[in-house]
Amino acid sequence: MIDGDIKFIRQLFDTSEGILRDIENYANENFVPIVKPEVARFLETVVKIKHPKNILEVGTAIGYSSIIMLKAYEKTRVLTIEKDIDRAEIAKRNFTEASLIDRVELVKGDAIEVLPCLNNKYDLIFIDASKGHYREFFDECLRVLNDGGILICDNILYKGHVANDVRVKHKRRTIVYRMRDFISYILNKKELVTTIIPIGDGLSISVKEEKDD
């Protein structure tokens, strides 16, 4: 997406208020990564279309995207996983302030360890955590995704480096190569229909095909 297009779209979506505005301000002031405005609107739209009963989120940060999804459908519940204890505590306070704490299960821990322990099924899964572990996250999430469910991954173009053929700096090279392999992997999963959407820092959205009875 062209920079001018991004700026224009973000201005259109700059309508948050209350707790969401407070979280955005805190994130900007404290360098906490949260989803971009156009990605937030995309998540909201998907939830309003899908009406998922159960959502799994890998990477809570301070609760921004969870709140977006919970507000989009009043009957949904979210299980969200966060490794950073301090951020998880801030997220918990934000859920409480937003009067959504009763619809959230916040798990403090490493998703690599938590995901294999999950047995419930989910209608919608959102991955926004350590980029170097997306393949592991994805496989475990696919295991607990309902047929017909949706799996969304954020930041898959990694600041434009994944799609850019210009030499990648050494410190970013491993993540970029892993992300390129990851994109190829999910696009070729037979049980999924996947597309890449160039908004924010790049999104993938996969739909798990329903099995014939």
DSSP the chain: --HHHHHHHHHHT----HHHHHHHHHHHHHT-----HHHHHHHHHHHHHH--SEEEEE--TTSHHHHHHHHH-TT-EEEEEES-HHHHHHHHHHHHHTT-GGGEEEEES-HHHHGGG--S-EEEEEE-S-GGGHHHHHHHHHHTEEEEEEEEEE-TTGGGTTT--SPPPHHHHHHHHHHHHHHHHHHT-TTEEEEEE-STT-EEEEEEPPPP-
List domains and CATH numbers for the chain.
Answer: 3-207 (3.40.50.150)
pTM greater than 0.85 (yes/no):
yes
Per-run averaged pLDDT (10 residues), the chain, 213 residues: 57 72 95 93 97 98 98 98 98 98 98 97 96 93 98 85 58 77 94 93 93 66
